[in-house]
Amino acid sequence: MEKEVQILFAELTQGSSEAFEEIYVLFYEASVRFCFSLVKDQAEAEGLVQDVFIQLWERRNRLDSEIEFKSYLFACLKNRAFDKLRAIRKSQEAIENQWKRIEQLQSEVNDELNEQKIDSILMAIEDLPPGRKQIIQLRYLKGKSYKEIAEQLNISSHTVKNQLIKAKQHLKSAVEFQISWFLVVVPYCFF
């Protein structure tokens, strides 16, 4: 059989399409199994075999008919499979790098968003009426209870509670407006 294959290969190098077809039929299944053992994907293995046989046909006039065909074929298959595996690895690395970049941008946006929230809250506190502003400061900056605030300002605990509710509503709406505006503008700054 080896002599038959070498004769077919010599005919192939002379441009015989019949010899090419016979070689293809003889080696196709073994070639696919070999490539599958390397790439672990049936469709990919079949594609690699097709590529190598196309390359074999396109280069038929430049091939040395004295080389041992089977060794040459399987060396070509191995090289093509390794090239494919390298390309897949590079592609996976590129995807991983892209995800890292996206995560970095997301982190930057989140940091910027947190800064924006803090700035919005501080600006909204400045816009509060003086009494509410004072209650917010006593409650959240100094950590005082409703009762302590009421005693210090000489008002009822119920008034403190109502003023805090109104202040929180104002702060929430002011911050939401600022943040929604920020979310509309920021994407255009990064992309």
Would you give per-residue pLDDT tens digits along the chain (191 residues)? Answer: 678 988 999 999 999 999 999 999 999 999 999 999 999 999 999 999 999 999 999 999 999 988 999 999 999 999 999 999 999 888 888 888 888 888 888 888 778 777 877 777 788 888 889 999 899 888 888 899 999 999 999 999 999 999 989 888 888 887 776 555 544 444 444 44
3-state secondary structure the chain: CHHHHHHHHHHHHCCCHHHHHHHHHHHHHHHHHHHHHHHCCHHHHHHHHHHHHHHHHHCHHHCCCCCCHHHHHHHHHHHHHHHHHHHHHHHHHHHHHHHHHHHHHHHHHHHHHHHHHHHHHHHHHHHCCHHHHHHHHHHHHCCCCHHHHHHHHCCCHHHHHHHHHHHHHHHHHHHHHHHHHHHHHHHHHHC
Start and end residues for every CATH 1.10.10.10 domain found in the chain:
100-190
Start and end residues for every CATH 1.10.1740.10 domain found in the chain:
2-93
CATH 1.10.10.10, applies to 100-190: yes
pLDDT of residue 53: 96
Query: What does pTM read for this prediction?
Result: 0.55
* CATH of span 2-93: 1.10.1740.10
